[in-house]
Amino acid sequence: MSALTAPGFYPFTIAALILVGIVAIEILAMVVGMSISSLVNDGLSHHGVHSEHGPLDAWMSWLNRGGVPLLVLIMIWLASFAIAGFAIQGLAQALLAPLPTLIASLLAVMAALPMTRALSRWTARIIPGDESNAISQSDLIGLTGTVTLGPLDQGKPGRVRVRDLHGNIHVLRAKAAAGHLIPQGASVLVVDGSNGLFEAIPAPEELGAQT
């Protein structure tokens, strides 16, 4: 354990601790009906951080090959950087002595980039996509789904799991439409949505959930 706090290892230890902190915050946010990942992506989109042209967009497109949400991409990079750094320093220590921190960090950054690109593509195949990553928000209105985090009322948003016409799964931030209280596990119909937040009503019996 003491090796992880040695000068040559501390950048990677810090990256690992940041990753653990982000995961903990995201879990707590989901418990209260929020998503840090959604807030990050919505905030950056509203402030025009994502552009369709330019070297930054081309670089991000290469790095985020899987098209995962930005916070997930950051988490993947932190994990890749930490793993690469520990491996590099562990090997160097076994052979002779740990590398200088700056050199080890640069090597870890170089190793983390292709790892992040590969892992983002793999991760995108196994996690539900955000509504903005595959189809437009309007395409999700009219779909039926299941309340996975609720109950839904007019207060804090919960979560609704739906399947689009292409078979892709989406987990939406949603509230119940006025006059409705929808328990967790119930089938719902998405009737409206704007700015990443949807409204739902109990699904008619003839529709049911299609997820």
Task: pLDDT tens for the chain, 211 residues: list them.
Answer: 555 666 678 899 999 999 998 888 877 766 655 555 555 554 444 444 444 444 545 555 666 655 567 778 888 899 999 999 999 998 988 888 889 989 999 999 999 988 988 888 787 677 654 444 446 777 888 889 999 888 899 988 888 988 877 777 788 889 999 989 999 889 999 999 888 889 999 988 766 555 4
DSSP per-residue letters across the chain: -GGGGSTTTHHHHHHHHHHHHHHHHHHHHHHTT--HHHHHHHHHHHTT---SSSHHHHHHHHHTTT---HHHHHHHHHHHHHHHHHHHHHHHHHHT-PPPHHHHHHHHHHHHHHHHHHHHHHHHTTSPBPHHHHS-GGGGTT-EEEEEE--B-SSS-EEEEEE-TTS-EEEEEEEEPTT--B-TT-EEEEEEEETTEEEEEEPPTTT----
Instruction: Please indicate, yes or no, whether the overall pTM of this predicted structure exceeds 0.95.
Output: no
Q: What fold characterizes domain 131-202?
A: OB fold (Dihydrolipoamide Acetyltransferase, E2P) (2.40.50)
Domain residue ranges in the chain: 2-124, 131-202
